[in-house]
Chain A
Amino acid sequence: MVSDSPLLLCQGLQVGYRGRPLLPPIDLRVQRGETWALIGPNGAGKTTLLRTLLGLLPALGGQLVHPGSAIAYVPQRSELDPSVPARVLDLVRSGAERGWSFAKPRWPFASNPAVLQAMRDVGVENLCREPWLHLSEGQKQRVLLAQALAGQPDLLILDEPTSAMDVHAERQVFDLLGELRDRRRLGLLLVSHNLGALSRFATHAVFVDKDQGVVVPGPLAEVVAHPAFDARFGVHVAQRGGDAS
């Protein structure tokens, strides 16, 4: 069931650096139950758009609102420095912190139902005391998902959730994401280079290409039929499973 109120709304959003727009203005409306894929070749502006949507970069113009909805970010696994020690429980707990909540005292053994549920939902409840450093790539991805879910978000934004994974592990991650989306009525927006997997999993897409000067958002079928997309990835899509990088 898809509700009408958007989780994320962009109207004429302009993204770029130092006052210089990188892409044409973007209109986007992400709703519950939808899965949006952010696709484009390397250096096309995906990261700039992603960071602007997350509030990590200021927008140069237009509107970016997420009315009443909580956003959680699932970074690439490689973004966590392995030399900084953290256990699974520490990471998932940190996902439940918002704003200034870190300054409130917390009893060391206090359990947060949202944290426990998040760990159960992704199947890492038995890894509580494991160090991040010792986890497999698939386990790390599940822990980052649990961290995001601990904040009880409405919209999950994921950066390359299946990078450096084999086909089997990648399929497991997409299956888990689909299950979580349906069970928790989430909206998903993810960056991925795997067009083959996205064509089976995503309902919508935003194709960005700064070299062509285009941003094409909409239902997946419409986006892949767009001439700009076809010019860049037509052969790959025809082969179902190409790498967009």
Chain B
Amino acid sequence: MPPETPAGLGQFFDAWELFRDPALAGVVAGALLGFLGVFVVARRMVFLSAALSQAAGLGVAAAFWAQIHLGLSGTWLGPTVGSTVATGLAALYLVGGTRGARWRPDGRLGWVYLMGAAGTLALGTRIVQEVQDIETILFGSAVAVAPADLHQLLVVASVLLALQLVGLRGFAQVAVDEDGARVRGLPTGLLGLLLVASLALAVSVTTRILGALPVFAFTVLPAMAALRVAPNLATAAWLAAVLGGAAGFLGYLAAFLFTLPVGAAQALVAGAEVLLTALVGLALDAWHVRAVHRHAHIHGPGCGHLAVQHGDHVDYLHDGHLDHQGRDGHHAGEHDPPHHH
């Protein structure tokens, strides 16, 4: 647990051996989910990841319950297997639906989300010995990560990122214009299935290690931040991976420094990234509008800007500076604003 007394950066890095694995797990999970999240957000599937992370939580809780009450143990019914099975079933139900069912997709998402959350809490009362793990699953309060879990996460992240890189242009085209991609013969159904399967696998592994709250946050918030400022989806995916990784590490560090739950701190840092990029995005928009205006606007008599005689030529007061218009009507430069004495 993070220390109760105020801690400093020095203490954090002095004990780096202790914090290395969980911090690295946060970085890898943040980067993987950030990258995947760009396509999830662009395709308006945000709550799919929320529902899958709750289903993963239920799977972990069910595995603990089976270990305690049914005496099942070992590799075949560990928490990771439980979360993978539950997430896989939820993904199949959400993507494939059921024959004859009349529920809308968002209704099915709500059902999976609520059953996952309520089921995890209900099972938590029957596995008192593991209640700390249930809190970890739901809110991401873990500070330690087992080496085996980190290795598993690294393998899964490498495989999924390699798959995403191969299909990057395809995933991007489906996200921008699915009908157009289908007309051009892209395997849109398979690409959609791969995206959901990748998300389900990533969510099941990371929920087991970090908890449902930071997993949902990493899937949504870095992607939102990156989509606000990136020029295209491919750049947004890389930027979201960087932002997700940064939120994973800085969130863990903030949890240590300010004695906060790790998952909440990671989600808050990712949320701060959204605000920061929103400000950057506003600045970029303003710069673009000014650039377009300058290129499109030619000063002259009656153009709406104040004309100021300046030596042998006339300047125009525009946005706090003087624009110098060339004799041929082209924009020729800027001067400092006029001084009034």
Give A100 to B185 CA distance when docked, in angstroms: 8
Question: Smallest distance from the beta carbon of B201 to chain A beta carbons, Å?
Answer: 20
Give A129 to B230 CA distance when docked, in angstroms: 12
Per-residue interface assignment for chain B, residues 167 to 201, with 1 indicating a CB less than 8 Å from any chain A CB and 0 otherwise: 11110110111011111111100000000000000
Sort chain A's interface into a size bin. 20 to 34
* B interface, over-half SS: helix
- Residue of B184, B232, B288 with highest tally of chain A CB at under 10 A: B184
How many B residues, CB 8 Å from partner?
29
Give A95 to B186 CA distance when docked, in angstroms: 11
Give A205 to B42 CA distance when docked, in angstroms: 37
> A85, B231: Cβ atoms under 8 Å?
yes
Is there a chain A Cβ closer than 8 Å to B243's Cβ? no
Residues of the A chain whose Cβ atoms lie less than 8 Å from the Cβ of B184:
72, 95, 97-99, 151
Is there a chain B Cβ closer than 8 Å to A172's Cβ? no
Give A129 to B181 CA distance when docked, in angstroms: 22
Question: Smallest distance from the beta carbon of A59 to chain B beta carbons, Å?
Answer: 15
Where the two chains meet, the residues of B that have a C-beta atom closer than 8 Å to any C-beta of A are 42, 166-170, 172-173, 175-177, 179-187, 227, 230-233, 235-236, 288, 292
> B230, A85: Cβ atoms under 8 Å?
yes
> B42, A102: Cβ atoms under 8 Å?
no
Where the two chains meet, the residues of A that have a C-beta atom closer than 8 Å to any C-beta of B are 54-56, 71-73, 75, 79-81, 83-87, 90-91, 94-95, 97-100, 102-103, 106, 129, 131, 134, 147, 151
> A98, B185: Cβ atoms under 8 Å?
yes
Task: Specify which of A73, A80, A84 is in contact with B183 (CB 8 Å cutoff).
Answer: A73
Contacts A84-B233, A85-B233, A90-B232 given; indicate if A71 touches B183 (C-beta within 8 A): yes
Task: Specify which of B167, B181, B183 is in contact with A103 (CB 8 Å cutoff).
Answer: B167
Nearest-CB residue, chain B, relative to A94: B173
Question: Smallest distance from the beta carbon of B19 to chain A beta carbons, Å?
Answer: 36
Question: Smallest distance from the beta carbon of A146 to chain B beta carbons, Å?
Answer: 13
> B288, A97: Cβ atoms under 8 Å?
no
> B231, A87: Cβ atoms under 8 Å?
yes
> B182, A84: Cβ atoms under 8 Å?
no
Residues of the A chain whose Cβ atoms lie less than 8 Å from the Cβ of B168:
102
Task: Specify which of A80, A84, A134 is in contact with B292 (CB 8 Å cutoff).
Answer: A134
- Residue of B177, B181, B227 with highest tally of chain A CB at under 10 A: B177
